[in-house]
Amino acid sequence: MARAAVAENDPTAKALLLLIRDGRLGEASADPTLGTFLDKLCPEDRDFDLATELYNGHLATEDPATRQRNLLAAAVAHFEARKPLDKLATLAKATGATISLN
């Protein structure tokens, strides 16, 4: 956003930076131009969403070392939960059976 405002002289980016600076970011939700600009600037990206969730979820942790450990653990858990599932291995573990393919 700063790049768009300064280097590219984008008026929408400048307006958004002013709202942030003045603590009036809530006003941005009423302007569809700003929403369109943000969609263009940050297309939907699951990793971006993860980063935003992690940042917002750990703002209250004051100790930097604890915050870093918690962020790392949350990021690892996020990707572990989304790993492709080996359905055959899961089924075999659940039933305790052995599978033989001929």
Residue 12 clears pLDDT 60, i.e. is over it: yes
**pLDDT tens-digit readout, 77-89:** 877 877 777 666 6
Instruction: Count CA atoms within 13 Å of residue 56 on its CB side.
Output: 6
- The 10s digit of each residue's pLDDT in 18-75 is 888 888 877 777 788 887 887 787 666 667 777 777 877 777 888 888 888 888 888 8
Q: With cut-offs at 50, 70 and 90, classify the pLDDT of residue 93.
A: low
Question: Which of 93, 92, 4 lies closest to 40, judged by CA?
Answer: 4
In the chain, where the domains are located? 1-42, 44-89
The tokens describing 55, both together, are 């940042």
pTM score, two decimals? 0.43
